[in-house]
Amino acid sequence: MCRLLGYLGSPLQLDQLLYKPERSLVVQSYLPQEMTSGVVNADGLGIGWYHSTQDVNPFTYKNTLPIWNDINLPELSRYVESDCVLAYVRSATPGQALDMGNCQPFRRDRILFIHNGFIERFRQTLYRPIRDRLSDEIYQSIHGTTDSEHIFALLVNEVQTVADASLETALSQTLSQLIQLAQSYQVNFSANIILSDGHSLVASRYASGSSAPTLYWLRDDPNYPNAVLVASEPLFAGNWHSCPTNSLLVVKEDLEVCINQF
């Protein structure tokens, strides 16, 4: 299980999200409070962000070190400013390689994607069925071995197949495919996902056959006015709301928050 963080709102320096909160991702990497599997998140990190004034594809920074050992990120996070950020610290599924190819966020054009969850016995169950549903071009674009990247590939395939599909629709259809496959192969999975195109955030809290990992959201906190945060665990004391199990959360460009049961 990993720890996720999404931000949409007024531009701010990355260190305001990654380091300053009382229970920042750094703290959650070695002392998580609400993980359902694993003890620490020491298997790497990743941050994705969008330029706050230019309409360009997003940027990513990844490392296989624990976030507390990354000596470059504190300086980078003081320099970079963004109005839309996705970040995570990783707890690798046993058997999955600890390399850059398996580090999130995953990126495709304007889309950034992070995932906390699992597909039960992935290599023996849904690995091939998922790949069979992909176009050849998206199939060839998979560089790592994680279930997370394969879920992302399903989503990208959906975006490219359905003209003008919104992020919400693409994520909903991706989860529907996973549910169908999981039922056919009688496996459990969980999919807490946050994705963005730089203008909106869409998140899911979903599990089939197991408990859904926790996911929270908060809007217009005094320390983060005109902004919405989505996180696996609250970053500080505040008016955090728990996302319902098996739901989709949509944060629109005007920061309106909508929650729909899946």
| Catalytic residue numbers, as ranges | 2
* Distance of alpha carbon 250 from alpha carbon 204, whole angstroms: 9
Q: Write out 156-176 in H/E/C secondary structure.
A: HHHHHHCCCCCHHHHHHHHHH
Could you please report the per-residue DSSP string of 61-123?
EEESS-GGG-SSHHHHHHH-EEEEEEEEE--PPTT---SGGGPSPEEETTEEEEEEEEETTGG
Within 10 angstroms of residue 12's Cβ, the number of other Cβ atoms is: 18
Q: How far is the C-alpha of 159 from the C-alpha of 148, rounded, in Å?
A: 17
Cα-based distances in Å from 150 to 87, 147, 167: 19, 5, 17
- Spatial distance between the Cα atoms of 58 and 185, rounded to a whole number of angstroms: 36
How far is it, in rounded angstroms, from Cα 56 to Cα 17? Answer: 22
Q: Is residue 45 within 8 Å of 4, Cβ to Cβ?
A: no
Q: How many CA atoms lie within 13 A of 56 on its CB side?
A: 9
d(CA 103, CA 101) in angstroms, rounded, equals: 6
Is omega for the bond preceding 32 within 30 degrees of 0, making it cis? Answer: no
Q: Are 112 and 159 in contact (CB under 8 A)?
A: no
